[in-house]
């Protein structure tokens, strides 16, 4: 994206949109890696049933910040692909959906470029990412065939998903039917879609800290600050966020399985796969 020095903290222009930016060279050097920590996806007795996992992806790229600039975002590849990889190895197939039915958007600048296993998995699911189902159509057809819902992270999860009635309906169905919901980083913003419902009151989760989001413009990861704090809003629904920083922490509370950041992608995948193999029996 640029030939600038690795110490440059200026956000990099996205030529596809006026006043839109990718993360700075410096922030990419700090928060992305050419190889992921994918490992431990060994499940000798995989799931053989018919239930799938519904992945709800981000379908918007540009997140408006407080200074009028756009952050060029989407779903984070590591936060998407590592949990999916583990669950796939554990025997669970995926259906991919977005709110609009438009393609899933990715923060492709965070793809581990030298990680052939992750890139190969992305290529395998790329047809579904490119042509996902519309979430409303999935709901209309019934959700009984799903063992879990997966909402990946990346700042793209802050756009449209938290206010979607369809996302809210899917999450309320999962809560009412004891289905698992798996998410990490900014993905838990999707829980806001249940509005003022009490279904999550008292749940403990991991999520990306608001305080850390507030510091990212200092290194040019984002071109401006967020216009709202998703963690703060989650607390008004009765959630307790158990992490203050990002260490790769994951947490299960009943049917919610969550992680704190891209560092948690592999850990979340392992926890989710092991949990579903134990709990999903049909």
Q: Are 69 and 220 within 8 A, CB to CB? A: no
Main-chain phi, psi angles of 69, to 5 degrees: -85, 160
For residue 11, what are its two tokens? 């956000």
Name the residue among 172, 153, 181 with its Cα closest to residue 77: 153
Contacts of 269 (CB under 8 A, 6+ apart): 41, 82, 83, 84, 85, 86, 87
Query: HSE on the CB side for 156, CA within 13 Å?
Result: 28
Contacts of 244 (CB under 8 A, 6+ apart): 209, 211
Catalytic residue (choose from 185, 241, 256, 272) = 185
Across the beta sheet with 20-22, the strand order is 12-13, 20-22, 70-72, 62-64
**Is 206 in the active site?**
no
Q: Residue 261 gets which letter from DSSP?
A: S
Which residues are tagged catalytic? 185
């Amino acid at each position: 994206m640029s030939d600038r020095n690795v110490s440059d903290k200026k956000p990099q222009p996205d030529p596809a949109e006026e006043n839109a930016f990718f993360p700075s060279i410096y922030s990419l050097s700090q928060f992305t890696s050419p190889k992921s920590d994918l490992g431990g996806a060994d499940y000798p007795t995989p799931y053989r049933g018919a239930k799938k996992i519904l992945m709800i992806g981000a379908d918007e790229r540009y997140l408006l910040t407080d200074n009028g600039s756009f952050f060029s975002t989407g779903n984070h590849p590591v936060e998407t692909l590592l949990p999916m990889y583990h669950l796939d190895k554990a025997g669970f197939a995926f259906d991919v959906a977005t709110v609009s039915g438009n393609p899933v958007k990715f923060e492709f600048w965070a793809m581990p470029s030298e990680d052939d296993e992750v890139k190969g998995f992305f290529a395998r699911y790329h047809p579904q990412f490119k042509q996902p189902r519309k979430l409303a159509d999935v709901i209309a057809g019934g959700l009984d065939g799903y063992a879990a819902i997966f909402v990946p992270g990346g700042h793209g999860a802050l756009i449209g998903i938290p206010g979607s009635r369809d996302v809210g309906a899917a999450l309320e169905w999962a809560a009412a039917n004891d289905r698992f919901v798996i998410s990490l980083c900014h993905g838990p913003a999707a829980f806001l879609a249940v509005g003022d419902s009490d279904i999550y009151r008292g749940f403990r989760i991991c999520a990306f800290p608001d305080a850390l989001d507030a510091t990212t413009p200092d290194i040019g990861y984002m071109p401006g600050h967020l216009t709202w704090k998703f963690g703060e809003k989650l607390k008004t629904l009765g959630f307790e966020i158990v992490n203050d920083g990002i260490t790769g922490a994951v947490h299960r509370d009943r049917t919610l399985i969550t992680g704190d950041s891209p560092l948690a992608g592999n850990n979340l995948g392992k926890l989710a796969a092991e949990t579903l193999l134990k709990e999903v029996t049909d």
